[in-house]
Structure 1
Amino acid sequence: GVFLRSPPRVEFNGVPLWVQADGCHRLFLHEDGSWRLSNSMCNVSGQGALRSELCGRNRMPHWFWSWSVFDGAGWKPMPSVAISDDSSKANRRLAEQDAADWLKDSSRSLVRDASESPRVPAYRGHYSLSFQTAQEAPAHRDRGHSSLGFQTAQEAERFVQSMRSIGMKNWVL
């Protein structure tokens, strides 16, 4: 959701409090220096439901890209969380994370398929993807050309179509 900065002079632990526009959750600076999202309505104390991975006494919450969720037993990384001062940046970051997760999951399935069915080669072809910007190459973070392996041309095309559907228009086979 959208969070708005609290009115001037309303601070918590010496920094602005961020209030959910369409709800009652708060982003607040915890006493340990991490940013937290309140896990109960109107509460800005305690542990929170989300926390920034790094301490942020000198930074606002949108500077942090790594967040964790409390699952009842401990803090677990939550890569699907993005806090940004611009919603398009947050959406782009989440799309990049989805693409990186898809690539990681696909490579695992290719290896598993090869070990379970040695008669069928797991690697039937090699298709290249060209990236125009670093943002379009989430797994590699470099400009230019990168290569990925797919079992079939159809699988490669499905991947490119999924990238285009989330706004990464310059991916080509």
Structure 2
Amino acid sequence: MLMLLLPLTGWIAGSAVYGHYSQLRAAQLAERHAVTAQLMSDAQVGGDGFTDQARPRARVQWEDRQGLHVTVAPVGTWQRKGSTATVWLDTRGNIAAAPVTRDRAATAGVCAGLATAAGLAALAGVAWKGVRVSLDRRRFAQWDREWELVEPRWTGRRRR
């Protein structure tokens, strides 16, 4: 039974997480669009390492129907002045984070499925161990009671 339950729960959890990220991706793609921008400076890392500000950023420019735009945007660490980068914009034209990728959705789904199956297996193992310990204690107590009755006849000693 458990051999069927583990993969099934893993599949259900993984599918739910994958579905969530797929919906999130669709929503993000609906409200964001990509532009190709040219770097006006080399990528530099800023911030404290714990926030989004720690991502490499560079001054970029791109041109569209509204004219020329210049701003600081997240780019790849390796990018240098003069190269191009994909910059994501929201519906108002502000810099936005890149949408969730299909790979991230799939990876999150697989990880959630494996973690769920492993967690359920660990829970089942702990429950099994608890049942075994409980049954062993009960059996040892029963053996002690029986030994109290048998030992005097078997050894010839009287118990006090």
TM over 0.5: no
After TM superposition, the score normalised by the length of structure 2 is: 0.29
Higher helix share: 2
Specify the structure having the higher radius of gyration (Cα): 2
